[in-house]
Structure 1
Amino acid sequence: MPDHPASTVPDTVVDALFIGRIGPLAGDGAASAIDKRPVTDARWLDAGGVAGDTVADPIHHGGPERALNHYPAEHYRLWQARYPGFEDAFVPGALGENISTHGMTEADVHIGDVFRLGQATVQIAQPRQPCWKIGARTGIAGLARAVAAAGAAGWLYRVIEPGDIRAGDRLARIETATHGITLARLWSIQAARVPDEDDRRALLRLAELPTLAPEWRKRLAARARQLGER
Structure 2
Amino acid sequence: MVAITEICIGLPHPFNGAELSAIDKRPVAGAVAIRSFGIEGDMVADTVHHGGVDMAVHHYPHDHYTAWNEWLGGHELLARAAAFGENLMSTGLTETQVHIGDRFRLGSALLEVSQPRKPCWKIEHRFARKGMVARIIKQHNCGWYYRVIEEGEAQADDVLECVETGHSEWSVARLFAKFYDPAHRASRDEIEEMAELERLSPAMRDKIRAKLAS
Answer yes or no: same fold by TM over 0.5: yes
Aligned to 1:7: none
Of 203, 208, 212, the residue aligned with 1:220 is 208
Q: What displacement does 1:193 show?
A: 4.8
Residue 154 of structure 1 and its aligned partner are, at CA, apart by: 0.2
2:49 alignment counterpart? 60
Alignment partner of 2:84: what SS? coil
Which amino acid in structure 2 is aligned with residue 202 of structure 1?
E
Corresponding residue SS for 1:52: coil
Which residue does the alignment assign to 1:47? 36
Task: Work out the percentage of aligned pairs sharing the same amino acid.
Answer: 38
Task: Give the aligned partner of residue 101 of structure 2.
Answer: 112
1:204 equivalent in structure 2: 192
Q: Which amino acid aligns with 2:5?
A: D
Matched, 1:142 2:131: yes
With over 3 angstroms needed to count, the CA separation of the structure-2 counterparts of 1:195 and 1:136, relative to structure 1, is: closer
Distance 2:167 2:43 in 1: 34
> Scaled by the length of structure 1, what TM-score is found?
0.85
Shift of 1:40: 1.8
SS at match of 1:106: coil
1:90 to 63, 78, 84: 78
Aligned with 1:20 (options 10, 26, 39): 10
Aligned length: 212
Structure 2 Cα separation of the partners of residues 224 and 100 of structure 1: 35
Counterpart check, 1:101 vs 2:90: yes
Matched residues in 1 for 2:172 and 2:188: separation?
A: 15
CA 1:143–1:33 in 2, change beyond 3 Å: closer, same or farther? same
Q: Secondary structure at the residue paired with 1:205?
A: helix
Distance in 2 of aligned mates of 1:135 and 1:156: 20
SS of structure 2 residue aligned to 1:65? helix
Mark the CA change 1:54 to 1:218 in structure 2 (over 3 Å): closer, same or farther.
same
Please provide the CA RMSD for this pair: 1.8
Equivalent residue, structure 1, for 2:162: 173
CA deviation vs aligned residue, 1:6-56 (integer Å, no higher than 9, x gap): xxxxx111011100121112x645211111011121110111110111111
Segments of structure 2 that go 5 or more residues without pairing to the other structure are none
Cα pair 1:181 1:202 within 8 Å, conserved? no
Cα 1:72–1:158 change in 2 (3 A) is: same
Q: 1-side partners of 2:120 and 2:46: how far apart?
A: 11
2-structure distance, mates of 1:44, 1:72? 22
Question: TM-score, normalised on structure 2?
Answer: 0.91
Matched, 1:164 2:153: yes
Compared CA separation, residues 96 and 153, structure 1 to 2 (3 A): same
Query: Secondary structure of 2:206's match?
Result: helix
In the alignment, structure 1 segments of 5+ residues that lack a partner are: 1-10
Give SS of 1:90's match: helix
| CA displacement at 1:99 relative to structure 2 | 0.3
